[in-house]
Structure formats: C-alpha cells, structure tokens
Amino acid sequence: MYNVFLVDDEELVIKSLIASVDWQHYGFEVAGYALSGLEAYERIQTLRPHLVFTDIRMPGMSGLELIKQLKDMASQSLIVVLSGYAEFALAQKAINYGAFGYCLKPFDDMEISGFLRKAAALLKNRESAKDVDILEYLETDSSENERKLREILLASGIDPDGGQGMMAAVSLGNSRLSHDSLQRGIAVRVGMRKYAYLLQENASLREALEKGATSGTGCKGLGVSRTIRRLTDIRLAIQEGEREAYRYFTARSVTGGLTREDAMTSRRQALRAFEEAVGKKDAAEIGSCLDNAGPLFADGRMDIQDALTLYNQTLAFVNREQEQMWEEYMYSFEQLTECYSSVQDMLGHLKDMVATTRKPSGSPQIRNRSFKAILEYVEEHYREDLSIQLLSEQFNVNANYISQLFRKEAGTTFTQHLTELRVDYACRLLTETDLPINEIAEQSGYSDYFYFSRIFKRSTGTTPSSYRASRA
C-alpha cells in the first residue's frame, strides 16, 4: 500500500478528497495532511509519502515553493498540483519543477483515479529498478557501488552513518510485509518467495519483528539480524536474517537461559565431533552425532546453515562408502526445506542413509533409452523446480540409479548438467534482453538471487551484471 499526503489551506477540500476517493482501490492510503506549505514540508520529511497532492496557492510557503524545497532535499515523492483554471500558468511552472501532474478544481473523480493508476504503475516500476540496483550494489564491493548504495538508503529514510545503526529482516512468503513500520526502509525481493528489508535500527520495531508481530497472513518465516553500522555488512545481515527466518524449520523453541557464547560453544563442539566422526569413517559415531544434533536444533543453538552442512557432509560420506552418487548435494535452504518437513525429518533420513553403508546394495540395470527419456525431460523442464526426487517420481526409478546413470551416460552429475543448462539460458537472457537480473534468475530456475549470482560466477568467472556489461 502506497502512502498519500494531502496539502491545502482549506480543510474542507482535504476532507472532501479523503471521503470522495476510493484510495485503497488503487493501492493507496492517506497517511496525513497539512493546512500550510511549511507544515507540509516538515511532515513530508518525516513521513516520506509516495504521493503528494498539494494546492498551489497557500499563505506562507506556496505549493510552488514546497515543490522546489522538496526537490532540493531530493525527495522521492510524486507530486500532483491542485489548481483552479486561473492558476494554469503556475501549474505548468510546477510541472517544470518536477511535479507529476496537476488536477483542476473542482475535482473530477475520473481525473484523480487516472493519476492514481499512473502513480501506482510508476512507483511499482521504480521499486523494481531499486530492487535490482540494491542487489547489484551488494554483489560487488567497490567505492562507486558504496556511494550509490548510500544514496538509495538516504533517499529511503535510512541514515547509514546514524548512531543507531541499521538492521536487516527477511520474510519467507509470496508477498512483502505491509506493516506500517516497514514503510520507512527498503524492501527487496531476494528470491521467488523471499523478501529482505533494510531498516534503521529501532528498538520497538525490532521487538515487533522478533515476535513476528508484523508477519501477517502468508508469511512462513521471519528473521531479523543484529545491528550493523557498515554498508559492507548489509549482505551479511541479510544472510543472518535469512537463517533466523528458517527457525520454523529447525527450532521448536529458542532457549532463553543460554548466553550467545554458550550456545555458540555447544554448536562448535557438536560440529567438530561430527567432522571427526566423518574423518574416521565411523558410521556408528556419525549416527550418534546426528542424534545429538537434534536437541541443539530444537532449542535454537543450531540453525538452517548447520542443517545444510550436516546434510552435505553426511552425503559425502555415504557417497564415498558406496562408491556411487547416492543423492545430489544441496546448495540452498529452499532445497532443504522443500525436501523435508523439518530438520528432525532430515536427521532421520540422514541416519537411514548412514545405516545403508553397512549393507550390500543391488545394481538393477536400467536401459539407456530410459535415461534418454529422463535427459530429454530435464532439457525441456530445466527452468522449473527440478530435482532428482522429482525425476524419481516422474519415471518411477530409484533416485540413486538416476544419479549413477548421469555419471555413466552423460559423464557428469545431475546437478552439474542442470546448472550448465540454466547458466547457459541466463547468459542468453543477459545478452539478448533488458530483463532485471533478479527476474532472469527466476526464469532460469533459481528462486534465490544470491544463490544464482554465486552459481553464475562459479560457472562463468564473473557476476551476472559484469557479464551483461561486457557484452553491451
């Protein structure tokens, strides 16, 4: 929902506007109003509304002067001038100063609704462009990117050099959070169903976020980072917020009695014991370590990143012992949470896999034409949510043997083949289209922007934005 601010020295005009326009229908809500230009200037600095309707003739600071002042302070608000026929020349001058448009008095509902539609479309496009800018500036460290990032933060009401610092929050769900407290900040879509919020540190907002009070309908998880004070820490803060957002998958409750240091100590000890068990190739001890990890996840001492680590290290052990690819490695939290209902479910599956290393496994043969059908399916559906498990269900073939077939027949793994197809498609989109990079990530089959950027750079040696620039 976008915020509107109304300015007119006649309160009756303002009340008439509020009552006669169906603001919510067009995605707006009236955040406040002022009866003078000076009052409006002070309140707009605080509220930072998306759209301002202002009278052009007012005592003291006129609407024209208000527009000039807002322009000088680099306000991002769209401004619509309210004027009578006799003030048409002034209205034109206001447009030259950067006003979005003008409405003639007396008001016409169709005229105002037209401006609201245009403003909503422009604001949506502006947000998309800002999202991409933010992501690209976070992707590569440079003084120029830092300067541009600082400008965007300041324009959104965040002072990166302020004494209170900044914080990042991440929500998991199909839509952005719409809580009023989040309006003064930046919301960025970082995945197909994932949003990051850059905010000025605020004790009451932090408390609301940590309690999930701003989550609303459709939000599956919500996490908030610690306070940060440097622009270079923003990406780390987003990653921390993301891990916290996945607490629904790992933790039944977060222990309040333990200090952060105590929690980190027990976590490190558990991971060290697990690594030692894997190093000794001791299946029984690995199973015991997985059992011990259960309570640490349940009380919040271990998180989603640790779950991903345990999964891939266990899988590496099983693959070595079986001398074959048992299942594919996982590289994102989304993959993990889509395969398992909870971390306890994952731990149970890992224990079962470890147990199989002590049993001989059969080797039923699958004809090559079966693999040909699987390969054709992958090459047709690689931009979709695709996994070994899905192929197993689609073709009624054990996932283990599909992995073996990829190695034997294609000379690669399923994941490597899928990545090659997706990155090649992304390269074509980067070269042949002007689509935003986060949209290219989604169209190429990646639900997380940062994961896509990491995979792309690993495959091509450069970032998506640098790749596009080199071929412009």
163-179 pLDDT, tens per residue?
889 999 999 987 778 66
**Fold type of domain 2-125:** Rossmann fold (3.40.50)
Mean pLDDT to the nearest integer, 116-134: 74
Provide the token pair at 436.
Answer: 């935003």
CATH class, 368-470 region: mainly alpha
Question: What's the pLDDT tens digit per position in 428-442?
Answer: 999 999 888 988 999
Average pLDDT over all residues of the chain = 84
Provide the token pair at 383.
Answer: 């931009």
Whole-angstrom distance, CA of residue 46 vs CA of residue 183: 11
Tell me, what's the pLDDT at 254?
A: 61
Tell me, what's the pLDDT at 369?
A: 66
Q: Minimum mean pLDDT among 23-27, 178-182, 272-276, 423-427: which range? A: 178-182
Tell me, what's the pLDDT at 364?
A: 40
Mean pLDDT to the nearest integer, 444-450: 89
Q: What residue spans in the chain does CATH classification 3.40.50.2300 cover?
A: 2-125
Q: What residue spans in the chain does CATH classification 3.30.70 cover?
A: 142-245
Mean pLDDT to the nearest integer, 184-203: 86
Mean pLDDT to the nearest integer, 95-105: 79
Question: At 132, is the pLDDT very low, low, confident or very high (cuts 50, 70, 90)?
Answer: low
Options 3.40.30, 3.30.70, 2.60.40, 3.30.420; CATH for 142-245 is 3.30.70
Question: At 361, is the pLDDT very low, low, confident or very high (cuts 50, 70, 90)?
Answer: very low
Q: What residue spans in the chain does CATH classification 1.10.10.60 cover?
A: 368-470
324 versus 144: which is more confidently predicted?
144
Question: At 263, is the pLDDT very low, low, confident or very high (cuts 50, 70, 90)?
Answer: confident
Tell me, what's the pLDDT at 125?
A: 67
Tell me, what's the pLDDT at 161?
A: 86
Q: Per-residue pLDDT for 218 more than 60?
A: yes
Question: At 6, is the pLDDT very low, low, confident or very high (cuts 50, 70, 90)?
Answer: very high
Peptide linkage before 106 cis (omega within 30 of 0): yes
Whole-angstrom distance, CA of residue 383 vs CA of residue 301: 36
Whole-angstrom distance, CA of residue 382 vs CA of residue 420: 10
| CA neighbor of 343 nearest in space, from 243, 465, 200, 455 | 243
Longest dimension (CA), the chain: 92
Question: At 362, is the pLDDT very low, low, confident or very high (cuts 50, 70, 90)?
Answer: very low
299 versus 400: which is more confidently predicted?
299
